[in-house]
Amino acid sequence: MKRCLGVWFVLTLASCSNDDGMENRDGLSDNSEPVPSGDDTAQPSASSDAPVPTPDQSTTSSPTVPTPSSQPDDGPTGATPPPVSGGEGGATVDPGPTPAGSAGDSSAGSAGGAGGGVTGPDVPPAGEGPGCLEFTEPSTAGRFANPQLNGPSGLAASRQYPGVLYAQLDTGGPASVFATTTDGRDLAQYALEDLEQNDWEDIAVGPGPDGKQYIFVGDIGDNAAGGMGGGSARAEVQIYRFAEPEVSLSMDSAVVDVSWEVLRFTYPDGARNAETLLVDPQSQDIFILTKDSGDATIYRAAGDVATDTPTVLEEVGTVDVGSAQLAAGDISPSGDRILLRTYDELLIWERRVGTDVATALSADATRLTVADEPRSEGATFAGDGSAWFSAGEEDDALYTGVSTCD
């Protein structure tokens, strides 16, 4: 009997102690959540909104960038999306089946997009989040010192040699690529050996199939196909490609012969006139955009397409460029923005990592203020993406706008 009373007394005392809010043996009050057993180090909650820093990202940096296998914020979740229609300055895209290596495909490469990703020291890393779409009012960066460059038909910036621009002329000009500084001082002329140009309309810098940086020259003009000239439309167009040579800012009007390889293309729907060439640093893909007002057609080819072999381009969408004809374009060094130049406007789109070019162009464009330059047919990002440059076909002036984002 005494033993039962003792047990009853101990249980009653313990009950009263807990009712008074005293801590239990786990160190928590009755209203606290239990501490998980195991490692004493606190682990981040799976539902936490705070991103976990990676070696390339501190907790005070820009928002976390999705990995290539992740979907963009508003992207598909695995199912094939319906065609997307953009408003003014946007594209209409028929995505079709989800290609291998694109967003939504778990086998995507390191940078996403058709054709796989590109890695290595020559390829700038993808930008964190959306790229900067805000720039200063345009100003004159300089004038081309080389008298042959009184109005180039295309511009591109070196990704390997800061401060270097490349330019080329169209019909009637030499089969050469000119290297200049960003204020127009002449550095070198790279002559493509044993070649005569037909109608060179744009130039681009980007990765080749080996991941190294190449210069691409688009012999893609066809005035007969565009109803702007006599003669017959072209049976095929060509893009000439050569490894980017070493360039020094101390060079002075050097003339250098370079070897090259040719990519040969036909259109799936007959000859087209085009003046815009893009090379995607994320996927290596090559894009040709037609010289149209309103809806310009976007054609794509894989970057590893066979050389000197007729290849049919793939139509992947259209982009609304407004009332003036599309004449030039570029993709930023990291691939986070796309720049298109019409005779009247400079249009820019942001592009998330893993988003293909045609889908990025389905959004509405941001319109940048441009200088009053006649028939602008050259436009490019700076080699680090911090500015844009443009030039008119009937003037030797070189214009620029500088990013104002922090």
Which pair of tokens denotes residue 185? Answer: 């001082």
pLDDT of residue 328: 96
Rounded Cα–Cα distance for residues 359 and 374 (Å): 31
Rounded Cα–Cα distance for residues 271 and 297 (Å): 12
Which pair of tokens denotes residue 173? Answer: 């000009």
Rounded Cα–Cα distance for residues 163 and 384 (Å): 9
Q: Strand pairing of 310-312 and 261-266?
A: parallel
> For residue 396, which amino acid is it?
D
| Residue 38 parent element (H or E) | none
Spell out where 321-394 has E strands: 326-331, 337-342, 346-350, 366-368, 376-381, 387-392
Residue 374 burial (CB count, 10 A): 12
Of 250, 284, 365, 229, whose CA–CA distance to 115 is shortest? Answer: 284
Domains (range + CATH), the chain: 85-402 (2.120.10)
Splitting the chain (406 residues) into consecutive groups of 10 residues, what average pLDDT does each group show? 38 40 38 39 38 39 37 38 39 38 33 33 44 94 93 95 96 95 97 95 96 97 82 93 96 95 97 97 97 95 97 97 94 97 94 93 94 86 96 89 91
Of 254, 257, 243, 139, whose CA–CA distance to 186 is shortest? Answer: 254
Which pair of tokens denotes residue 371? Answer: 């200088």
Rounded Cα–Cα distance for residues 83 and 96 (Å): 8
Beta-bridge mates of residue 202: 218
pLDDT of residue 229: 66
pLDDT of residue 97: 37
